[in-house]
Structure 1
């Protein structure tokens, strides 16, 4: 959590997942990363970093005192673990594959996502994945929030290349899972 910005220096306090159930407790005991869920301020520090250490701002909602909820939001792009399992180890995580998906809708119990696929001849441009002309949509229960690997900063294209890429997503090159590059 960013506490203060002074020129190119940023003072932070560290946050950690505040487990909301046995699955999340099991996940953090295995020292696996979590990018969405309820987070609490772990410790206040005066550590500072330069701006090069940060990729993008994450939107959080205030929870209880010193806790913040970070979940996918409609219109964002996220990487999701393929074939995800609560039984994964650090080794499983290091060799896993990913989906790239646009968040279509978030309800009280489900996140609906549209799978994206890379556009041929463009390194970081993605479009909706279709199978038999049908867009590939998945519903992920909020109870599987650990399946979300990380948010990918992105923007939708409009008039680039005479509008031929209109509605497609250009993704941040540093955040795209490596096999897609």
Structure 2
């Protein structure tokens, strides 16, 4: 993951010892699958990811709302929102689950791609920021 970098917006903690980085609406993030607050350092070695789009900014009261993204078949760097019976699947991520976010994945809407049969709803993700395929 060290092959890329991008700027992030953060909040300084009250005691100034650390920064808080919260996912923002419209960003794409990798989240640890099956994460829980009791994970130890060794649990991060056998991780799996899911890719999500942030639908609502984080708030202390309600956390954040996310939509799961799935890889478009045959297009390794294009993703779309996961649908089940015509409904987009979303979920709330509580304040206590915020450490389940791993890293932001830079994403782009590619203009003019519909002439190649690629709908504008598909999102191109930065390949170097994608989680390893063997763990997807």
- Common topology (TM > 0.5): yes
CA RMSD of aligned residues (A): 2.2
| CA drift at 1:74 | 0.3
User: 1:127·1:168 contact (CA, 8 Å) conserved in 2?
Assistant: yes
Q: Matched residues in 2 for 1:132 and 1:93: separation?
A: 33
Residue 57 in structure 1 maps to residue 7 in structure 2: yes
After TM superposition, what 4+ stretches of structure 1 lie above 6 angstroms from structure 2? none
User: 2:4·2:129 contact (CA, 8 Å) conserved in 1?
Assistant: no
Q: Matched residues in 1 for 2:67 and 2:3: separation?
A: 30
- Which of residues 81, 93, 97 is equivalent to 2:44? 93
| CA drift at 1:179 | 2.1
Residue-by-residue CA offset, 1:44-67 (whole Å, 9 max, x unaligned)? xxxxxxxx8652111223444645
Residue 126 in structure 1 maps to residue 76 in structure 2: no
Greater relative contact order structure (CA < 8 Å, 6+ sep): 2
User: 1:159·1:165 contact (CA, 8 Å) conserved in 2?
Assistant: no
Aligned residue for 1:111, secondary structure, equals: strand
| CA drift at 1:131 | 1.3
Aligned residue for 1:174, secondary structure, equals: helix
Report the equivalent of 1:110: 63
| Runs of at least 5 residues in structure 2 that lack an aligned partner in the other structure | none
Cα distance change of structure 1 residues 170 and 53 upon mapping to structure 2, 3 Å threshold: closer
| CA drift at 1:157 | 3.0
Aligned residue for 1:93, secondary structure, equals: helix
User: 1:124·1:171 contact (CA, 8 Å) conserved in 2?
Assistant: yes
Cα distance change of structure 1 residues 53 and 81 upon mapping to structure 2, 3 Å threshold: closer
Cα distance change of structure 1 residues 179 and 69 upon mapping to structure 2, 3 Å threshold: same
Q: Which has the larger radius of gyration?
A: 1
Higher strand fraction: Structure 1 or Structure 2? 1
| Runs of at least 5 residues in structure 1 that lack an aligned partner in the other structure | 1-51
Report the equivalent of 2:112: 159
Pairs aligned (count): 130
| CA drift at 1:92 | 1.9
